[in-house]
Amino acid sequence: MIENPEPEHHISKPRIIIAGTASDCGKTTVATGIMGALVKKGMTVQGFKVGPDYLDPSFHSRITGRASRNLDSWLMGESGIFETFGSASGNAGIAIIEGVMGLYDGSGSTTDKQSTAEVARLLGSPVILVVDVHAVGRSAAAQVLGFSNMARGFEIKGVVLSKTGSEGHFQLCKEAIERETSVPVVGHLKFDKELELPSRHLGLYSATRELDEKIQRISNSIAESVDVDLLRTIALEAPDLSFKTQSEVSLPNDDGIRIGVALDESFSFYYEDNLDQLRLLGARIKFFSPVSDRELPKVDLLYIGGGYPEINADLLEQNDQMRQQIRKSAEDGMPIYAECGGLMYLGRETISLEGKSHKMAGVFDLDTEMTRKLALGYTEMECVSETPISAREDRLHGHEFHFSSPQNISSDCRFAFKLIRGKGISNSKDGCISQSALGSYSHLHFRGERKSAVSLVESARRYSRK
């Protein structure tokens, strides 16, 4: 294992952040539409998403043709934010960063940590504020004035109004904002249920053209009602950045380590940076589908990410050949790393909201049941056992987002992690272990947890030499 010295980097990249006054104010629709409108003008657009979200980046990727990346200081650290932004936006003409929740919403009431404001400050990025003006008139100016006055280390350089009722409504709000503040209103998006993007179960859309057609309609609407040329001018005002990155780690890659990654309509939640980090460490990624493939590819480790196994639980159950192969691989000692949906798939059964049970791979002695209660938040884990991603006494930062709950957990089930923060599987524990298989509700980002990526590749290398 070789560690390289910390290099210094310089970035000169046009960029803006599309922030919101609150969740569900329309910022995902506006951000995705702006990306599409810029693409229509012939620009190469790189999308980013503040926070750990998997869904919104998928919208960005569909319209830009480039993998959108996440920016999250809890998961990646500040240096990881710079590294991902710099590497991903390098050959793009402009970077569009979608915020999370409200502009200042993060980990607490007195800090900008894990907020859109933090990323705006770190990246010196101009902010475009999306304001939901449904049932609002002149009061919209008070919102913009308040948000502008709280800005530290960045500026709100423009406003996009969402959910306007008419051209007259737009003009009323625009005049009020521009009279009471120095922030220009650069356009609006009319209220239209047909232009709303799905907030859950994106997998339902993946096999149809419906989502792509909706995103195109949003882009067309934004192109007509938002001054995207002015947005580009604002993006060009972003200052140059200089920063140092963490030392890179390289591993020997002459033995062609192969990592099988589950990827289909049931398993699609992966940070692109995670796959990139594994490739940088010399691993070759081989994708496979637990839904439709009958044979596992020849690999040295399995990585089964999150997603929606409950949507196609009947198809996963019917593919008994794949389930048996995965179970036998685990029994043979192959290292397996599963996150959230992957944990569900490696359990004995998954149970729907209606109470219907489907057999899963049976690697772990637990079932999972779908609920209407969301477990959501960042996690911090103390490792109490060696795993394919960690050594004993390591500390890991992750996040969890799931509507499932473990049931019928075997009394001898072993756990790898003691949770300092988060819910996990049971009683502040996470990371079920069986042989060399690990299943956890927590998702990790390998920009922040580089040692976990190294551990995965080294686990695969050890297995390949057996």
pLDDT of the residue at 2 = 47
User: Pick from 434, 445, 325: which is nearest to 70 by CA?
Assistant: 445
Question: Within 13 Å and on the Cβ side, how many CA atoms surround 225?
Answer: 23
pTM, to two decimals: 0.94
pLDDT in tens, 21-37: 999 999 999 999 999 99
Nearest Cα neighbor of 303 from 188, 277, 318, 23 is 277
pLDDT surpasses 90 at 11: no
Q: What is the pLDDT at residue 10? A: 78
Distance CA 429, CA 382 (A): 10
Predicted confidence (pLDDT) at residue 249 exceeds the cutoff of 80: no
C-alpha pair distances (Å), 202 with each of 32, 56, 144: 15, 10, 32
pLDDT at 210: 82
The predicted-structure confidence for 252-297, as pLDDT tens digits, reads as follows 655 689 999 999 999 999 999 999 999 999 999 999 999 999 999 9
Over the stretch 131-150, which tens digit does the pLDDT of each residue have? 999 999 999 999 999 999 99
CB 148 within 8 A of CB 185: no
Active-site residues, by number, are 340
289 CB-side CA count, 13 A: 10
The third-level CATH classification (topology) of the domain covering 256-464 is Rossmann fold (3.40.50)
- What digits encode the pLDDT tens for the residues 193-219? 778 887 665 444 444 678 889 999 999
Q: Which segments within 40-119 are labelled E, that is strand?
A: 45-50, 69-71, 94-98
In whole angstroms, how far apart are CA 103 and each of 52, 146, 148, 150?
Answer: 15, 12, 10, 10
Contacts of 229 (CB under 8 A, 6+ apart): none
So what's the pLDDT on residue 256?
A: 83
pLDDT of residue 207: 43
Mean pLDDT of 297-320: 97
Token duo for residue 262: 């589950």
Which run of H or of E encompasses 224?
helix 210-225
Q: Which of 189, 259, 255, 180 is nearest to 217 (CA)?
A: 189
Q: Please state the φ and ψ torsions of residue 208, each to the nearest 5 degrees.
A: -125, 170
> With 0-12 CB in 10 A as exposed, 13-18 as middle and 19+ as buried, what is 389?
buried
State the Cα–Cα distance between residues 399 and 76, nearest whole angstrom: 12
Q: What local confidence, expressed as pLDDT, does residue 208 receive?
A: 61
Q: What is the mean pLDDT of the chain?
A: 93
Nearest alpha-carbon partner for 430 in 463, 453, 397: 397
Q: What is the DSSP letter of 204?
A: G
Nearest to 74 by CA among 19, 8, 118, 10: 118
Among the residue ranges 25-39, 41-55, 125-139, 235-249, the one predicted with the least confidence is: 235-249
| Confidence label for 437 from pLDDT (cuts 50, 70 and 90) | very high
Which CATH superfamily does the domain covering 12-243 fall into? P-loop containing nucleotide triphosphate hydrolases (3.40.50.300)
Closest listed residue to residue 322, CA positions, set 348, 299, 294: 294
C-alpha span between 405 and 426 (Å, rounded) = 9
pLDDT band for position 177 (cuts 50, 70, 90): very high
CB atoms within 10 A of CB 453: 26
User: Where are the CATH 3.40.50.880 domain residues in the chain?
Assistant: 256-464
Span(s) in the chain for CATH 3.40.50.300: 12-243
Mean pLDDT of 315-333: 98
Amino acid (one-letter) located at 95? A
Q: What is the pLDDT of residue 250?
A: 61
Give the whole-angstrom CA distance, residue 240 versus residue 393: 40
**Contact, 376 vs 370, CB < 8 A?**
no
Q: What share of the chain in percent tops pLDDT 90?
A: 88
